[in-house]
Structure 1
Amino acid sequence: MSIRAAKKQGKYVGICGQGPSDHEDFAAWLMEEGIDSLSLNPDTVVQTWLSLAELNK
């Protein structure tokens, strides 16, 4: 809810941390909520991007 509320106010929303790298379901949820950016560990970038792209089709 916080992401959507912030977006309605015209705010940029991003997240840093380990969560999206370790849990693809969390990254997917963040994307569904409308997050603008998230940080990922270098070794998870490609797999996470591919996973999120598949959900976004």
Structure 2
Amino acid sequence: MNVNDASVLEMINNLIASKRLNENQILQLVNLASISDNLKELKENMRWEKFKSKY
């Protein structure tokens, strides 16, 4: 996804607000958004990163 696109930024802002992300999580989200193709893939990547960080 193009993180410079207004609709993508709005979606990212909505995710940040709804999940009450902290600064580190926001940075990780933006990094994942740049390599994700769509919202579904972004959410999958977020879950994978969360799972990965536990172990």
Query: What TM-score, normalized to structure 2?
Result: 0.31
Q: Bigger radius of gyration, 1 or 2?
A: 1
Higher helix share: 2
Higher strand share: 1
Query: What TM-score, normalized to structure 1?
Result: 0.30
